[in-house]
Structure 1
């Protein structure tokens, strides 16, 4: 998997080979194979495992399908079927807006990869709706459904969504291209500004470039990931792959006017979030000198900077500190004051514009 003609051809070949084999399994055969696959974990967005098909590793994700989503009039619908509040879109313990949206996002991104428009997404080889048992513990981070509902301002729609997940007896099973590491693990093994990748760039500069390319591509195509932390981003050391589209929102979805406006405001969200996550969680050891992250960034933009910061890291902080502060302040208000805190889209765009990145015609973004 790499951004070359041979790498693209190999991925397309694997897509055809693995997809064809999976499509030949009956539902019973496929369900048995999934049940036998070694588990990798479970969480608020589903359960995952790994299997081998035609000599290739395949990542398997089971996303709960609720009775509402399985009604004939709602099959494959990307509408907001539970009428969830738009603040549920943020990655702060949300189960997402439904399995069909996640499927649609993967179908879109797979199409972009196959057409060689952008390599940075795992291919969706196959998908199937299969019987499953209700997921357990998906709301444990809040102490259960009641705690999760309280976290989301007591929203009745969130309760309906969570209770429906808890009763689900089918899953949307996604069979995805296997990528060996999360970006968090990969970068954690290179927590040294001096380390280089094969291109000769520092590991941090390479990651920054990959984040900018990926977020700009998604924004330019009307897609917002909303949860691009580094456990949801994967890498083989040649490319960063944006994965796990459980919270994704796209202009191709069936959106209300309010949702379309929300999406337009948030086309800068990933572009702020992903580099901001790099600054908050993955700077080399010792760069902050013991300062709290927010204070460190505020001091940085005022010119109060610790000695000894490597030049590559200093340049990355320069490019992303201002918009990271904007997003950090928003997240703090969102989590501590009100879930209805408006996203400061204008302020975020101004911060990005100051650093050479502005909105392009048609809603995309472009470097200046």
Structure 2
């Protein structure tokens, strides 16, 4: 048994034996690492081991007897809510199931590139109060962004008033891929080149595994990928899987997006490389200049990084254009699946 699996066995059993009072006491020691629209993440010490705890609002509709553990689209949300434009996701039970699926892949030695789920618990949500004026204003703004869709408003309202949380106890990693790769690129030379090659290769393997199992992450940017030298894709708030209880429209949506995760990974890699070379602002215009201007390309000393950007620029620009259309034109715009499948096939990319 590997050290990683030994730690998994030990922590899973230990956390399983905790009473609710012990879980509450443990959470009081948590050090916040991230708070976002999909929940909050903290680092916690369990004895000598450090773990992540992610708390996700568990809404009252999800706690109804008939919906406990359900991976159905309980709120009947529109499928454009799958996209990474500020979506709160389709429900806590789906996120839990996604972690259970990927943890099983790790334990079965199918793919090691996902954080292990040690345990989970439903707890009372502290400070669950009626909406105040600020919350109501924010809810209105969020609903308006999503074209005032009534189902999305219902979901947002339920999150605001949720009286419980789902806590996921997860494997800890010291850094995000975003931070790690930036540090490697600053080193330059062989260090930077090796990092880019390794990241590109590992992300390809991760996406191949997910596609093989009809599983789409839908949010594969580099702040959702953890790193300790190897990569671990986490944060499954938008994940969609054939193992979920899916409507026919969701099954078709999942099939139509088989190229999506790989394309988002490529977009994220290109963004990171361009920002490292030309600064954090205006990455898209800098990329366009890179494509058309030889002098701009020569500002990057690494031939490998230059070639990587050149190879992936069409996909990065196409995905960014798709997001721009979703954001500014209509949330109902269809994903151009044939276009991305063609672009990936031209590069002999697996997806």
Matched, 1:149 2:143: yes
DSSP-derived class of the 2:330 partner: coil
Structure 1 segment 103-114 matched on structure 2, within 5 A = 103-114=96-107
Q: Output the CA distance in 2 between the equivalents of 1:251 and 1:125.
A: 23
Alpha-carbon displacement from aligned partner over 1:122-176 (angstroms, at most 9, x marks no partner) = 1000011111125799xx8996100000000001111111111111111110000
Matched, 1:213 2:244: no
In the superposition, the TM-score normalised over structure 2's length comes to 0.91
Q: Output the CA distance in 2 between the equivalents of 1:293 and 1:201.
A: 20
Q: Output the CA distance in 1 between the equivalents of 2:197 and 2:267.
A: 14
Matched, 1:264 2:255: yes
Give 1:94's match in structure 2, choosing from 56, 80, 87. Answer: 87
Q: Output the CA distance in 2 between the equivalents of 1:306 and 1:186.
A: 24
| Corresponding residue for residue 247 of structure 1 | 238
DSSP-derived class of the 2:276 partner: coil
Matched, 1:118 2:111: yes
- The structure with more helix, counted as a fraction of residues: 2
Segments of structure 1 that go 5 or more residues without pairing to the other structure are 1-7, 359-364
Alpha-carbon displacement from aligned partner over 1:302-346 (angstroms, at most 9, x marks no partner) = 685622432111221133112222211111111110011110000
Q: What is the root-mean-square deviation of aligned Cα atoms in Å? A: 2.4
Q: Output the CA distance in 1 between the equivalents of 2:175 and 2:135.
A: 24
| Corresponding residue for residue 3 of structure 1 | none
Matched, 1:187 2:181: yes
DSSP-derived class of the 2:186 partner: coil
| Range moving further from structure 2, 69-78 or 276-285 | 276-285
Aligned length: 346
Matched, 1:222 2:214: yes
Q: Output the CA distance in 2 between the equivalents of 1:266 and 1:154.
A: 25
Give 1:80's match in structure 2, choosing from 73, 89, 94. Answer: 73
| Corresponding residue for residue 176 of structure 1 | 170
Structure 1 segment 226-237 matched on structure 2, within 5 A = 226-237=218-229
Deviation of 1:296 (Å): 4.6
Give 1:28's match in structure 2, choosing from 21, 31, 56. Answer: 21
In the superposition, the TM-score normalised over structure 1's length comes to 0.87
Query: Does the 8 Å contact 2:275/2:283 carry over to 1?
Result: no
Matched, 1:355 2:347: yes
Q: Output the CA distance in 1 between the equivalents of 2:311 and 2:232.
A: 22
Give 1:315's match in structure 2, choosing from 290, 301, 307. Answer: 307
